[in-house]
Amino acid sequence: MNIDAIDLTRKLVNIESTSYHEGAVGEFLAEYLAAQRYSVERMAVAQRDPALKPGEDVGERFNVYAALPGVTPDVVLSTHMDTVPPFFGCTEDDEFLYGRGTCDAKGIIAAQVAAAEQLREAGVKVGLLFVVGEERDSAGAKVANENPRGSRFLINGEPTENHLALATKGALRVELHAHGRMAHSAYPELGESAIDKLVESLHDVLAMELPIEPEFGEAGKTTVNIGLISGGRAPNVIPDKAEAQILIRTVGPSQDVKDAITRVVRGRAEVTSSLDLSCIRMRRVGELPTMVAKFATDIPMLPAWGEPFLLGPGSIHVAHTPDERISKKELLACVDLYVELATSLVK
């Protein structure tokens, strides 16, 4: 049976599934895939929305895993079911589908379901894994990684404009904590300003020479975003504490960057780290056009599912925006690319 990836995208986009609220779309997919004669498993993910009040409930959330009954898959196609907020439903014109999740990542789910249908007709042992929580904390991927199903290859989907990713940059979150001593601001010699220490530390962090990976082309720079600064008490009080949160997109081992920051701020701020997704390199396959993804994916969380690849239709530049959309032509082209990639991997 041929699956209409465009129509399936419409249906998926019209079911709201912002992170922590993936239950309904998971149920839809589980039933849809069971009707296609897959054996379907719901992998419960316990983590709840921290914003929920006690007693409030938005139902269960779970990953959906589908495979041919009794068959260990060679290759698994995978992406995420959750979206960023706010939800808005599907509209379209001749060229595009518009709506939250069209490119990140419900169009990709639809393309993978359509590709899997063709692959199993061609005798490829294929599986599908759709996870929750990618946009928040990868809670679904972590649960999936504890329950692998023996696949040798994992084709992950994110918007790469139908290019095969040769790498995904890493994401390293560090926090700087500066401490001082409060005093009346008229007598600064009696205190010690935590904010001065933090500002000087941040200045030096921005001036650091950070690793470059020439092989990654224009994506090969380590980039630094100081995303959040807090501290102080009042304009007339020498501040006793200040903190900054920094997100660094890495192109190599994160430990080197962490060590360099710790050295540069020594004596002025303490360094902690709350997220460390490594930079992942992937291999080239055939003549498929390639790119390097600057954004993070679930791939570092899914090592137990086989050698990773990353490919998907749509542009990351419109993901997470009110202009999110996917080209119908590109979506259908990606069905063929998934078939081609999976076939050449298992050959």
In the complex, least distance from residue 168 CB atom to Zn ion, rounded to whole angstroms: 11
Q: Among 105, 144, 205, 210, which residue interacts with Zn ion (rule: CB under 5 A)?
A: 105
Q: Are 81 and 131 in contact (CB under 8 A)?
A: yes
Closest to Zn ion by CB, 68 vs 87, is 87
* Six token digits for residue 105: 């990542």
In the complex, least distance from residue 249 CB atom to Zn ion, rounded to whole angstroms: 16
In the complex, least distance from residue 316 CB atom to Zn ion, rounded to whole angstroms: 8
C-alpha 3: how far from chain center: 26
Closest to Zn ion by CB, 201 vs 278, is 278
Closest to Zn ion by CB, 159 vs 231, is 159
In the complex, least distance from residue 130 CB atom to Zn ion, rounded to whole angstroms: 12
Q: Are 9 and 107 in contact (CB under 8 A)?
A: yes
Which string of x and - marks every residue 142-171 that binds Zn ion (by CB under 5 A)?
----------------x-------------
Closest to Zn ion by CB, 104 vs 240, is 104
270-277/170-179 β-pairing: antiparallel
Closest to Zn ion by CB, 117 vs 298, is 298
Give the residue at shortest CB distance from Zn ion.
Answer: 104
Beta-strand ranges (E) seen in the chain are 39-44, 62-67, 75-80, 91-92, 96-98, 126-131, 153-156, 164-168, 170-179, 223-231, 241-250, 270-277, 280-281, 290-293, 307-310, 325-327
User: Which among 18-26, 101-109, 161-169, 203-211 is the span making contact with Zn ion, rule CB under 5 A?
Assistant: 101-109
Q: Which of 117, 134, 213, 243 is catalytic?
A: 134
How many residues form the binding site for Zn ion (CB under 5 A)?
3
In the complex, least distance from residue 84 CB atom to Zn ion, rounded to whole angstroms: 9
Q: Using CA atoms, how far apart are residues 40 and 289, in angstroms rounded to an integer?
A: 33
Q: Among 22, 74, 82, 104, which residue interacts with Zn ion (rule: CB under 5 A)?
A: 104
Q: Using CA atoms, how far apart are residues 132 and 81, in angstroms rounded to an integer?
A: 6
Q: Using CA atoms, how far apart are residues 19 and 309, in angstroms rounded to an integer?
A: 24
The region, left, alpha or beta by phi > 0 then psi within -120 to 50, assigned to residue 64 is beta
134 is known as an active-site residue: yes
Contacting positions for Zn ion (CB under 5 A): 104-105, 158
What is the set of active-site residues? 134
